Structure 1
Amino acid sequence: MMLSFFDQFMSPTYLGIPLIALALSLPWILYPKPTPRWLNNRLITLQGWFINRFTQQIFQPLNLKGHKWAALFASLMLFLITLNMLGLLPYTFTPTTQLSLNMAFAVPLWLATVIIGMRNQPTHALGHLLPEGTPTLLIPILIIIETISLFIRPLALAVRLTANLTAGHLLIQLIATAAFVLLPLMTTVAILTAVLLFLLTLLEIAVAMIQAYVFVLLLSLYLQENV
């Protein structure tokens, strides 16, 4: 019996083995690998079309130096979408509801973009800390504010993904519990609640895909500032 609604976000273990390891390995098992044949089947063709469209959409505003990140960002996008979507199935666990995991994704990638900017164009990278034409008295304050906003970026990335998925899962569980409780008492209200639950599930599917896209899109914007 679940003691709290938040118990669903605890990392489960079975026989002492953390199931988050299994959840993280599932995306790489589920997707088909390209074959050396000239003609692919429908699934591989659709998968390739999606990756190509996503890559063109993300890297269109970036210059050629940033295109080296295309494979990494496309893989991250597919990985996050799969984790978010699999977490909507019954009796499953969503690893991306863990802030520690999202920070593990956000911090290294954000730090890599900052290091690239400091190495290739340090003047331009440091110029973001102080807008042009700033009054002399405001220079120390603005530098502190811009530095804080720079270092808070990975936290914002991770918290945005965690909060949206956690809120959606909690709302689904609350409405589902209300539907089961109201079924013997007020059948009509329970049916309306079930319809609301179905619509909320559709919304959560959209949120799962959009949040993965937003995560990678913001990383591409950070990369665009530093290449």
Structure 2
Amino acid sequence: MTMSFFDQFASQSFLGIPLIAIAMALPWVLYPSPSSRWINNRLITIQGWLINRFTNQLMLPLNVGGHKWALLLASLMVFLITINMLGLLPYTFTPTTQLSLNMGFAVPLWLATVIIGMRNQPTIALGHLLPEGTPTPLIPMLIIIETISLLVRPLALGVRLTANLTAGHLLIQLITTAVFVLLPTMPTVAILTAIVLFLLTLLEVAVAMIQAYVFVLLLSLYLQENV
């Protein structure tokens, strides 16, 4: 049977257990739990420092009402980074290449920010649909455009994360295939291609972290408009 490059994004099963379930549960096992002692080991100290720095940076532009989301957004950030990074290892599966999973994260969180805005400050939330100083003939059109842009936000969140990770994985697989094909006939070209593959892998590590940060950052910006 001919294998497709897109077969790597199909969720397989092992002993009746879906691989996507194992991939989503694994990150929580890798992180050590902080203890109640005054002095912890270096790993727990670095882990706590990084999470605190990220949370402070993320919550800085938000009002006090938005600080309740600190734990949720920080956990989501750590979860997405870990899944994206583990997906770069051989014989692993990346759940965030599935649009359904990313939309499952994006839609409820985006909807929660909209509901919070409508409940706490409905006038300001609805005011975002019509920029100040708009000419009267353009008011219906602008309201429709702003409403569509509001509804497209969760789709943009999910598609952005899916597309970037999927494209990176496909490109790595294509270049890896080229290296194996060129190695018997043109070893010099294969070595140069392998160097490009190594640099691309480093780039994908950066993309895995940046896309997780962008996902959470955009959610915080949506929250900032509604608190």
Would you say same fold, with TM above 0.5?
yes
Q: Distance in 1 between matches of 2:6 and 2:221?
A: 33
Instruction: Work out whether 1:221 is the aligned partner of 2:206.
Output: no
**Deviation of 1:147 (Å):** 0.3
Q: Deviations over 1:200-225 (max 9, x none)?
A: 00000000000000000000000000
**Deviation of 1:78 (Å):** 0.2
Q: Which SS does the other structure have where 1:220 is aligned?
A: helix
Compare 133-142 and 152-161 and name the one that shifted more: 133-142
Q: Distance in 2 between matches of 1:2 and 1:113?
A: 46
Aligned residue number for residue 134 of structure 2 = 134
**Deviation of 1:12 (Å):** 1.0
Q: Which SS does the other structure have where 2:93 is aligned?
A: coil
Q: Which SS does the other structure have where 2:3 is aligned?
A: coil
TM-score after normalising by structure 1: 0.99
**Deviation of 1:20 (Å):** 0.6
The one-letter code of the counterpart of 2:129 is L
**Deviation of 1:15 (Å):** 3.0
**Deviation of 1:13 (Å):** 1.1
Q: Deviations over 1:90-136 (max 9, x none)?
A: 00000000000000000000000000000000000000000111111
Q: Distance in 2 between matches of 1:8 and 1:22?
A: 16
**Deviation of 1:2 (Å):** 5.9
Using a 3 Å threshold, how does the CA distance of structure 1 residues 42 and 115 change in structure 2: closer, same or farther?
same
Aligned residue number for residue 43 of structure 1 = 43
- Aligned pair count? 227
Percent pairwise identity: 82
Aligned residue number for residue 80 of structure 1 = 80
List runs of 5+ in structure 1 lacking aligned partners.
none
Matches within 5 A, 1:38-187: 38-187=38-187
Q: Distance in 2 between matches of 1:2 and 1:207?
A: 30
Q: Distance in 1 between matches of 2:89 and 2:224?
A: 36
**Deviation of 1:17 (Å):** 2.0
The one-letter code of the counterpart of 1:131 is P
**Deviation of 1:16 (Å):** 2.8
Compare 10-19 and 134-143 and name the one that shifted more: 10-19
Q: Which SS does the other structure have where 1:226 is aligned?
A: coil
TM-score after normalising by structure 2: 0.99
The one-letter code of the counterpart of 1:199 is L
Off by >2 Å, runs of 4+ in structure 1? none
The one-letter code of the counterpart of 1:59 is M
**Deviation of 1:63 (Å):** 1.0
